[in-house]
Chain A
Amino acid sequence: MARLELNALTKRYGDFHAARDVSLDVPEGEFLVLLGPSGCGKTTTLRMVAGFVEPTAGSISIGGTDVTRLPPWKRNTGLVFQNYALFPHMTVAENVAFGLEMRKLSKAETAEKVKGALDLVQLGHLADRYPRQMSGGQQQRVALARALVFRPDVLLLDEPLSNLDAKLRQEVRIEIRALQQRLGITAVMVTHDQEEALTMSDRLVVMSEGQVRQVGTQRELYETPASRFVAGFVGRSSFLEGELRDGRLVTQGGLALETPKPVHGKVTAALRPERIAVSAEPPAEGTNVFPGTVELVSYMGGLIDLHVRLSPSDVVVAQVTNQGGGTLPATGDRVYLSLGSPAVFPASDPHARGH
């Protein structure tokens, strides 16, 4: 339980930057999630914190101590892997006891702590099982107990839910988050799943191409994405590309959008599907209202996605809630979309700051 600081952390393989100038400050007890597509450097960053990848430049400190040059076994980090990584030749209790043995705790103390840790993940009754006799969800909970039992300074989670099926994923997700909060432990998790990232974290770090693109709370990232990339990666967005003409964004297909702030040159507007209002008749008021044709209806139960064509080159996704009764929109229907006020970014570079 300690503050984790990464200072301009860089990992280079030849000309390739796996991580570039990653600076993060994780206060004690925070749950930080590194989010990004595969190859964005999030795993490299996590492995540098754990000590398995030696940084080319920069430094890492845990609880105010510089650990950059320390081997993994001297860092006091708890690690949870995607594939659980439980020792198959040891029982659940032996697995959990491993970290305590390394710390030379007495037998009695070890037994007591192992029991406590297993009770914490509600698996006390399976202490004598072998990992292969357990389900994936149980194994990951054992892995969690094993990583927490010796009170690491930082808990590191490398895509811990990716191997679990949807229902278990939900359960273990809640369990990890609840434990982390209860123990007040500093945690860093890597994931490519934005829903996971949004629901578990105190703060999110969006990465791509080895660089940190934006850091903030879920709400900050969702409401005010710093770039087109973040707008597309955190939550969903439809993008309309166009050029600024007479203070308005004019798309190739001829739509003219009002933008909240004046913009210049080629720009991209990002629209959240659930912020678009759909109506059968032209609405009495609203900004950026355009007629369009429903091209695709994607029924998801409580929510319905409508892919609506507004012009020969502009399609946006609008999400409506399923109110029940009445008629559902169908392919070919004529609808009116109120796009509201979009976030606008320069079109040239997906990572350029927005306006």
Chain B
Amino acid sequence: MTDTASSAPARTGLTAAALVGPATAVVALGVLGPLALLARYSVNKYDPYEFMIAAVSPENYVQFFTDPFYLAAFWTTIRISVLCTAVCIVAGFPLAYVLARTQSRFKNLMIIGVVVPLFVGNAVRAAGWMTLLGSRGFLSVSLERLGITQGPTEIMYSELAVILGIIAVNLPYMVLTLQSVIEGISRNLEEAAFSMGASPATMFRRVLWPMALPGVAAGTILTFILAMNAYATPVLLGGPEFHMMAPLIYDQFQLNNWPFSAAVAFILMASTLALTVAAGIATRQRFRT
């Protein structure tokens, strides 16, 4: 008896280590290692002939924040990410609410319906958007034939197309996150509010929304990060004249300018992190009041 009692804590410690170990190792080797390397590269210098020269210089960062072209890409990325995330919250909440509260026996089918868009690869999805939004696409031709517009309507290769594309990808993440949180909020709480005289709007503002805020925060973080780092959608739907951060990194990388590419990657990561934390703090303060 004493033997098992004394060895039990040691064994739990070992078990815990065995459970946490592999994932920690993968994260350490696969993420932190390359990240450290990238950090090192970002302060190196670029040379057209030798490509990368070891140095410790802020040059790449300075270049990014002084060049209007890169700054424009930076602001476009933030603007589109904020907008897409906001639309995902506004459009996703009602959908998530219906999914969470439905008594329908087709509930599982509905959830699959929400997830189905994610089954389609980015390239295939973009091709779909092209046939819908292109100048000879379904929407343009329909509008023209119906006499609503004259001449082709070009939505492809525009900010609007990119926004639509990103929302279509991100919305399922928001809906699923919110749905699981709303399901955890007892329907009785809503009914209690109603019985005390709260209209549906008041109930939402005072009960449902504050209680769903942790889910809203989680969904916001998820969709915001996805939008900030979107690659295929801006490239395929935005066209060559449209610039967001993730494609920019790859472009620089293609040009063999690893130091600048690394610096842009770090700026993207830092700004994503900063905005996410800011959003987190904002929601938490709202939650307290």
What is the interface of chain A, defined by CB distance below 8 A to chain B?
A: 50-52, 71-79, 81, 83, 85-89, 98-99, 102-103, 146-147, 150, 156
Contact = CB atoms under 8 A, between A and B. Distances in A.
A99 B193 CA distance: 8
Contacts of A78: 195-196
A146 B211 CA distance: 19
A52 B186 CA distance: 15
Nearest to B213: A89
Interface stretch (B142-150, B198-206, B225-233, B272-280): B198-206
Contacts of B191: 50, 52, 72, 79, 81, 85
B196 A150 contact: yes
Closest 3 CB pairs of A and B: A102-B197, A99-B196, A79-B195
B186 A85 contact: yes
Contacts of A102: 196-198, 202
Interface residues of B, number: 18
Nearest to A47: B191
A76 B287 CA distance: 29
Contacts, number: 64
A79 B192 contact: yes
Contacts of A87: 189, 192-193, 207, 211
- Of B189, B196, B202, B211, chain A has the most CB atoms within 10 Å of the CB of B196
B210 interface: yes
B188 interface: yes
- Of A50, A72, A87, chain B has the most CB atoms within 10 Å of the CB of A72
A150 B195 CA distance: 11
A85 B202 contact: no
Given A52-B194, A87-B192, 4 more contacts: A73-B194, A79-B196, A87-B193, A89-B210
B188 A83 contact: yes
- Of A71, A75, A77, A102, chain B has the most CB atoms within 10 Å of the CB of A102
A90 to B, nearest CB: 9
B196 A83 contact: no
Nearest to A99: B196
A51 B194 contact: yes
Contacts of B186: 83, 85
B189 A85 contact: yes
B288 to A, nearest CB: 9
Contacts of A72: 191, 194-195
A71 B203 CA distance: 13
A101 B199 CA distance: 12
Given A79-B191, A83-B186, A85-B191, A73 B207 contact: no
Given A89-B210, A89-B211, A150 B197 contact: yes
Contacts of A75: 195
Given A73-B194, A79-B195, A98 B206 contact: yes
